[in-house]
Amino acid sequence: MFPLVGGHEPIVAVGACAMTTLANEQTPARLQASDALFRALFEQSPLSVQVLSQTGETLAVNPAWERLWGVSLADLPGYNLLEDPQLSANGVMPILRRAFAGEPIAIPPVPFVPDRGAHAGRTRWTRAFASPIRDEAGAVTQVVLIHEDVTDLVAAEEGLARLAAIVESSNDAIISRSLDGTITTWNRGAEQLYGYTAEEARGLHVSVVVPPDRQEELTILNERLARGERMEHLETVRLRKDGSRIDVSIGLSPIEDAAGRIIGVSTIARDVSERKRAEAAERFLVRASTELAASLDYRETLGRLAALVVPELADWCIVHLVDEDGALRPLAMAHADPAMAPLAREFERLYPPALDAPIGPPRVLRTGVGELVAQITDEQLAAYAQDAEHLRLLRAAGPRSYVAVPLSARGRILGTISLITAESGRRFRPDDLALANALGERAAAAIDNARLYEEAQVAEARFRGLFEGVADAILVADVERRYVDANAAASGLLGYEREELLRLRVEDIVTDVPEWTEAEYSRYVSEGRWQGELELSRKDGSTVPVEARATVVNLPTGQVFLSAVRDVSARRALEREQQEFLEAVSHDLKNPLTAVRGQAQHLRRQLRRTSTVPLAKLTAALDAIEASATRMSAQLEELQDLARLRAGHPLELETAPTDLAALVRVAATDAQAATGHHRIRVVAPAELWGSWDALRLRRVLDNLLGNAVKYSPGGRIEVTVGEEGRDGTRWAVVAVADEGIGIPAADLPHVFERYRRGGNVAGRIGGAGIGLAGSHQVVEQHGGTIRVASVEGQGSTFTLTLPMEGPSTPAE
Ligand code: ADP
């Protein structure tokens, strides 16, 4: 539809002044042709055309106009452009008026919101050109408005502006560069991150922000970008203008032109050094913790820790521990320059930290709070220095920055860790202090643990020593009555290896306790102790009488029952032996006493009857009495010697020149007098002199002769006395041989022990088992020997040898 307004006439007027001029020169035929042309243009034009009357009413619109505004002419009854409030509001009205006044004029892009039609409520941006049409007299009759829809353009521009604002305000560094690497855009984030202003950066090659050791990376990235790849979250390192390195996470994407050709690269980079530091700190702590847990020797561990700190965190690390006197002693030290380590140690030795120092480890020790000095000043060095030389050394060491933290565990400060930077020039920051604190906590816990462990070890060793060292057998059982520990004495007593014992239960060993009832057991548990005698079963099936003391011990891990057990079999045997001994002694004394009493009674009866006793009889009786008394006193002396020996006193020999041959002959005569069943023969030289204790040697001879008589039913007893040279010494030798019952081979090694008697005599022939022990003692004391050779049932020969000079050393 083409709305005709006022016939054909106005159509001619549509268009610019040039057209009007052209029309004026046309012939009527050509005019018709140009009318058709204009009509076609009007209809087909992509530009919207609106023809307005001189007063502002719309006279005609073309299809493009209708498409633009979503309305047709029919929708505009009563609409007057010059009264449209939107045009007043958006500032177009004054321009329009100038057009209506006759001035061809361009109207800049303005928004307009149609209030009706298909696009009602939707903003349209148009830019327009208003052309006034004049009549022949030059008066403006119509105004033609040609609109161009620039809505999309405006939106795109808006979007771009918004994008630019975003890029500009972003904290991330956003840069773009051409394919050859020349930087084209550089936002504020990039200025902050890299330190170059946009002005400085533009035109530079992108490699300026890539560290020399990463240039290769740039080539690889470019290759990938050239293939159209996008890359995100690429963690790498970039270089600031000041030469420092920054950890960044970057994203890269190719920039394409409208035809899809890659013409550049845009990069977005984010500073991740903070995060990296945190991660590195975390990793460091993990490594440190592993190191700290590796050994229970904290001295060694702290050394390794110091070595870990240097050079990763500091150039210098010192761990001080508080010693017993409260002073700080360097325990571990590490220096980035190994050559400096001995110097540093010497330095510490010369100048141990003064406990009242205003800064440094002493202050940390006093306050229990970590200390960070980002930049150490000369005043601080001066305050720390103990004298001029110290200050000189401190200055030479050149510490730049320092962190010290306490090592505190369970509320006690065990020491400090100090980290110092020097050569590296690195400055500590608060997050280093936090890291050092975390490190300190872990190290302190490790030291504390190690110390506790050491103490426990010492206690355990002490306990073990005691446990294994005591003579008593100690057995430890748990509440299930299973053995959980046993000492060497327990193994020895019971014949089980420790491991075997630990597989046993109480009832495997304590088999015979009639009174050990459940009631008794629970009383033991409730009272915590028990004491008594019982019998234990050995591995070999035998039993052993013991005296036991049991205690309930409450350990953190549960209750245990600790029994100290003492073997009382020896004591019991001793008691038995002493009992037998007493019986034997009294029996031995009773015989001569009975003889004395018999002689006395006999003499009295004789006197009652005849008032006189023949001299021979009296002499015989007195001889018998004297002999008995002698035997008794000999026996008593023997007992006395024995008692003295038992008390630990050696015999005091009374040596004098003695004729052993004579001594043997007298002893043999006396022995012969006491027996009618034996024939005692002496083979001896006329005399054999030596320096001996005659009384005691007589006792020995009486003993040997007495035994020869006692342990042979009759027969010959031969006593030989001789002399021999051996080892440069002259020895007197006396042998007493009988043909009696002999001694069982098993008892032979023991007959010289106290209370030991032969298996073939015990219970059948009386005796106390002390004679040979006493004889042995006397002979030994003389520096001689006594031996026995015997075959059971065939007789025995006791041989004693005595040095002729008597004992070489006087008895002590
Ligand atoms: P006692 O004779 O009082 O038992 P001794 O100490 O004199 O004590 O002797 C110890 C043991 O040596 C004797 O019990 C005996 O078994 C053995 N014995 C000693 N002399 C002889 C011997 N001449 N013949 C056989 N056995 C002997």
pLDDT, one tens digit per residue, over 380-437 is: 999 889 999 889 988 888 889 999 999 999 889 999 999 999 887 788 999 899 999 9
Q: Is 345 exposed, middle or buried (0-12, 13-18, 19+ CB in 10 A)?
A: middle
Contacts by 215-223 with C-beta closer than 8 Å and gap 24+? 218/181, 221/252, 222/181, 222/265
The DSSP output letter for 352 is P
Arithmetic mean of pLDDT, 643-668:
88
User: pLDDT confidence of 27, banded at 50, 70, 90?
Assistant: low
> What pLDDT does residue 142 have?
93
Arithmetic mean of pLDDT, 625-636:
83
> What pLDDT does residue 571 have?
86
Q: How far is CA 349 from CA 314, 315, 329, 482, in A?
A: 21, 19, 9, 55
Q: How far is the CA of 751 from the centre of ligand 1 (A)?
A: 7
**For atom 23 of ligand 1, which residue has the closest CA?**
708
Give the Cβ contact number of residue 460 at 10 Å: 12
In whole angstroms, what is the distance from residue 637 CA to residue 775 CA?
A: 12
**Do the Cβ atoms of 256 and 263 come closer than 8 Å?**
yes
**Which residues are bridge partners to 381 per DSSP?**
none
pLDDT in tens, 32-72: 777 888 888 888 888 899 999 999 999 999 999 999 899 98
Extract the tokens encoding 89: 């509001």
User: pLDDT confidence of 192, banded at 50, 70, 90?
Assistant: very high
> Is 164's pLDDT higher than 60?
yes
Q: Which residues, at least 6 apart from 677, have a Cβ–Cβ distance to it below 8 Å? A: 713, 714, 715
**Do the Cβ atoms of 762 and 769 come closer than 8 Å?**
no
337-346, 652-661, 673-682, range with the lowest pLDDT: 337-346
* Ligand 1 and 642: CB distance under 6 A: no
In whole angstroms, what is the distance from residue 319 CA to residue 416 CA?
A: 6
pTM: 0.50
**For atom 13 of ligand 1, which residue has the closest CA?**
757
> What pLDDT does residue 268 have?
92
Strand 48-53 with 401-409, pairing = unpaired
> Is 651's pLDDT higher than 90?
no
**Ligand 1 pocket test target in 743, 747, 750 with most atoms within 8 Å of CB:** 743
> What pLDDT does residue 515 have?
59
> Nearest to residue 357, comparing CAs of 374, 371, 345?
371
**Ligand 1 pocket test target in 751, 754, 800 with most atoms within 8 Å of CB:** 751
Q: How far is the CA of 767 from the centre of ligand 1 (A)?
A: 8
Q: To which residue do tokens 């030798």 refer?
A: 733
> Is 742's pLDDT higher than 50?
yes
Q: How far is the CA of 758 from the centre of ligand 1 (A)?
A: 7
**For atom 12 of ligand 1, which residue has the closest CA?**
751
Q: What are phi and psi of 437, to 5 degrees?
A: -60, -45
Q: How far is CA 669 from CA 415, 624, 663, 673, 802, in A?
A: 92, 14, 10, 6, 22
**Ligand 1 pocket test target in 638, 761, 794 with most atoms within 8 Å of CB:** 761
* Ligand 1 and 738: CB distance under 6 A: yes
> Nearest to residue 427, comparing CAs of 313, 535, 561, 526?
313
Q: How far is the CA of 740 from the centre of ligand 1 (A)?
A: 11
**For atom 19 of ligand 1, which residue has the closest CA?**
707
> What pLDDT does residue 556 have?
87
* Ligand 1 and 740: CB distance under 6 A: yes
pLDDT in tens, 563-598: 999 999 888 887 877 777 787 778 778 878 888 898
> What pLDDT does residue 29 have?
65
> What pLDDT does residue 2 have?
35
Q: How far is the CA of 572 from the centre of ligand 1 (A)?
A: 23
Arithmetic mean of pLDDT, 751-772:
84
In whole angstroms, what is the distance from residue 447 CA to residue 445 CA?
A: 5
> Is 669's pLDDT higher than 80?
yes
* Ligand 1 and 201: CB distance under 6 A: no
pLDDT in tens, 508-524: 998 766 556 677 777 87
The DSSP output letter for 767 is -
Q: How far is CA 589 from CA 564, 625, 630, 754, in A?
A: 43, 13, 11, 19
Extract the tokens encoding 155: 């939106």
Q: Which atom of ligand 1 is least distant from the CA of 770?
A: 6
> What pLDDT does residue 30 have?
64
Extract the tokens encoding 29: 């035929």
> Nearest to residue 308, comparing CAs of 288, 285, 283, 332?
288
**Ligand 1 pocket test target in 586, 701, 711 with most atoms within 8 Å of CB:** 711
Arithmetic mean of pLDDT, 532-553:
90
**Do the Cβ atoms of 109 and 125 come closer than 8 Å?**
yes
Q: How far is the CA of 519 from the centre of ligand 1 (A)?
A: 51
* Ligand 1 and 175: CB distance under 6 A: no
Q: How far is the CA of 747 from the centre of ligand 1 (A)?
A: 10
Arithmetic mean of pLDDT, 94-113:
91
> What pLDDT does residue 260 have?
82
Q: Which atom of ligand 1 is least distant from the CA of 742?
A: 25
Percent of the chain residues topping a pLDDT of 70: 95
> What pLDDT does residue 477 have?
92
Mean predicted lDDT score pLDDT of the chain? 86
* Ligand 1 and 742: CB distance under 6 A: yes
> What pLDDT does residue 13 have?
38
Q: Which atom of ligand 1 is least distant from the CA of 798?
A: 23
**Do the Cβ atoms of 323 and 294 come closer than 8 Å?**
no
* Ligand 1 and 758: CB distance under 6 A: yes
> What pLDDT does residue 419 have?
93
> What pLDDT does residue 240 have?
94
* Ligand 1 and 731: CB distance under 6 A: no
Extract the tokens encoding 649: 């006193």
Q: How far is the CA of 640 from the centre of ligand 1 (A)?
A: 20
Q: How far is the CA of 696 from the centre of ligand 1 (A)?
A: 18
